[in-house]
Amino acid sequence: ILDMQEKERQRIANDLHDSTIQNLTHLIHTIELGSMYIDKDIIRAKLELETCIKNLKSIIDEMRQIIFNLRPMSFDDLGFKHCIENFIYNMRTQYVNFEIEYDVCDLDNEDFNIENNSGVNLFIVTIYRLIQESVMNAIKHSKGKKIILIIEKKNNKCVIHIKDDGEGYNFDDDEKSNNHFGLIIMKERISLLNGKVSINTDENGTEVIIEIPFK
């Protein structure tokens, strides 16, 4: 669990460094450039400020996405299915070249053989994380253009299917070289929930099947 937490922290740090920090640094340069023009060319200075406003709005959107990924706020209010739909909507908006089809069932307290609501919430959030990891892995590493996501309740289990049309990859080699932290974390999450995962990959794409018992 501690190892998984450290990998999560490392990934969040990388996301902040590669996107938000770099964009903020670029924003500082733009502001400095605008201040140089403010006395010499007021029109150019205004254009630079407009660029700053546009970039700042983009950075705010990135931060909101990072916060949403850390804790899907709509989950507590709207439930599992709506949260998944919001996640897919955000992915479609962010990765416009990717087509995402989905068929998602809802999950609630009655599905779980767990006495307290906090345990159910932790269970559902963990399932959400698994879906999030699987979809993001497909988008970032598959080199494909389409993802099919199916979530269903079957034989007292939550069964998750994620399939892409990418090039496929060697899971064992990637895991040994630590190139795919997401897949490693995903397997650890599944193990903590007493579930199992199968990954089928070839030149026509990759299919991930996750089965999590409701007990």
- Residues 73-126: tens digit of each pLDDT: 555 667 788 888 888 988 888 888 889 999 988 887 666 665 655 566 777 888
- State mean pLDDT over 177-204: 78
Burial class from Cβ neighbours inside 10 Å (0-12, 13-18, 19+) for residue 60 reads: exposed
Selection from 163, 148, 156, 153 nearest residue 105 by Cα: 153
Distance of CA 200 to the CA centre of its chain: 21
* Top-confidence residue, 93 or 181: 93
Q: Per DSSP, which regions of the chain are E strands?
A: 99-104, 146-154, 157-164, 196-202, 205-213
The string of DSSP letters for 160-203 reads EEEEE-S----HHHHHHTT--HHHHHHHHHHHHTT-EEEEEEET
The pLDDT tens digits of the residues spanning 138-153 come to 888 888 899 999 999 9
Please indicate, yes or no, whether the overall pTM of this predicted structure exceeds 0.75. no
